[in-house]
């Protein structure tokens, strides 16, 4: 990719849809005002998701739902975040669930389980499914005792958007 040529036509949509390697190359080279433009545009885009608890339960109604940990989201670095994070067990499966969730949108937001909110030592789960709405993330083979905070993190720009301390 020819970076200078690409930067001239950089839009939020191009930035949001490029692959991780190209995006990281661009982030390392673009001026701060272009990064700010990307962040401001991302804030105006709300991505909705609505996953029910039913999607986690099988056809067996006798499965019990156990809440293992819970916490409330709060915004970080000037961003808005609200809602509840829960780690729940449904039968033999464990999920991270967001309820009544909303966060300021950003480019390439990711979900992490961390210790004390530090993504460097955290576990990256996956991309955030939506900036607004209930959502579920399957937790497989994870020692939940190691983590006490859920973090919403803008991967390419290294910005914390929100966290929920679990207790």
Q: Which residue has the tokens 């039968």?
A: 91
Q: Which two tokens stand for residue 167?
A: 């207790």
User: Between vectors from CA 69 to CA 66 and to CA 70, what angle results, nearest 5°?
Assistant: 110
The confidence score (pLDDT) of residue 4 equals 47
More confident residue, 81 or 44: 81
pLDDT at residue 134 is higher than 80: yes
Q: What is the mean pLDDT of residues 70-76?
A: 98
Which of helix, strand or coil describes residue 93?
strand
**Average pLDDT for the chain:** 88
Question: Could you tell me what percent of the chain has a pLDDT over 90?
Answer: 59
H helices of the chain, in order, are 3-8, 12-17, 20-29, 32-43
Q: How many residues does the chain have?
A: 167
Dihedral sign from CA coordinates of 78, 85, 166, 142: negative
Q: Summarize the chain as % helix, strand, coil (round to 5).
A: 25, 40, 35
Q: What is the three-state SS of 94-109?
A: EEEEEEEEEECCCCCE
Question: Could you tell me what percent of the chain has a pLDDT over 70?
Answer: 89
Q: How far apart are CA 25 and CA 32, in angstroms?
A: 14
Range ranked top by mean pLDDT from 38-47, 48-57, 80-89:
80-89
Q: Kindly report the pTM of this predicted structure.
A: 0.85
User: What ranges do the domains of the chain cover?
Assistant: 3-43, 53-165
The confidence score (pLDDT) of residue 70 equals 98
pLDDT at residue 59 is higher than 70: no
pLDDT at residue 31 is higher than 60: yes
The number of beta carbons lying within 10 Å of the beta carbon of residue 43 is 14
The confidence score (pLDDT) of residue 2 equals 42
Residues 6+ apart with CB under 8 A from 164: 71, 72, 73, 74, 81, 83, 84, 85, 149, 150
Residue 78: pLDDT band with limits 50, 70, 90: very high
More confident residue, 15 or 77: 77
Residue 14: pLDDT band with limits 50, 70, 90: confident
Q: What is the mean pLDDT of residues 79-95?
A: 95
């Amino acid at each position: 990719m020819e970076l200078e040529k690409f930067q001239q036509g950089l839009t939020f949509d191009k930035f949001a849809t490029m692959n991780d390697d190209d995006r990281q190359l661009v982030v390392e080279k673009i001026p701060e005002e272009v990064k700010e433009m990307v962040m401001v545009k991302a804030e105006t885009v709300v991505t909705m998701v609505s996953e029910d608890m039913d999607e986690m339960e099988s056809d067996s109604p006798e499965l019990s739902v156990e809440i293992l940990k819970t916490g409330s989201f709060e915004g970080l670095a000037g961003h808005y975040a609200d809602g509840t994070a829960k780690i729940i067990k449904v039968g033999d499966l464990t999920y991270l669930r967001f309820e009544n969730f909303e966060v300021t949108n950003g480019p390439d937001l990711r979900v992490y389980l961390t210790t004390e909110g530090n993504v460097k030592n955290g576990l990256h789960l996956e991309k955030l499914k939506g900036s607004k709405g209930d959502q579920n993330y399957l937790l497989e083979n994870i020692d939940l005792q190691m983590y006490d905070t859920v973090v919403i993190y803008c991967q390419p720009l290294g910005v914390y958007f929100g966290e929920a301390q679990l207790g």
